[in-house]
Amino acid sequence: MLLALYVFAIGNRVALFWLAFVLTRPLGATLGDMLTKAVTAGGLNLGTIGASAVLAAVLLGLILLTSYRARRADLAA
């Protein structure tokens, strides 16, 4: 829904940013809890450094994937 509002330029861009931020914040908190909580509490027990490493690896992977796709699209054009 937020993507559609953004793509079709319906609404204020700043308001859309804050709405997306507020809606996705619980997802990040839940993921952080899952990575750092003990296994007995339903987590992965990676600790703060381990969780940061996992999130950094995912971020780097997504950046590389985006770069690869953009480069491939440029070569196809």
Amino acid code (one letter) for 42: G
- Overall number of domains in the chain: 2
Q: Are residues 1 and 19 part of one domain?
A: yes
Whether residues 57 and 73 fall in one domain: yes
Residues 40 and 56 in one domain: no
pLDDT of residue 6: 64
Kindly report, residue by residue over 21-77, the tens digit of the pLDDT: 888 888 889 999 999 999 999 999 999 999 999 999 999 999 999 999 999 999 887
The better pLDDT of the pair 52, 8 is held by 52
Based on the fold, state whether residues 52 and 37 are members of the same structural domain: no
> Residue 51, class by beta-carbon neighbours within 10 Å (0-12 exposed, 13-18 middle, 19+ buried)?
buried
CA 20 to chain centre: 11
Residue 12 is predicted with a pLDDT of: 77
Provide the residue range defining the domain that includes 57. 47-77
What letter represents residue 10's amino acid? I
33 and 55 fall within a common domain: no
Single pTM value for the model: 0.66
Is 39 found in the same domain as 16? Answer: yes
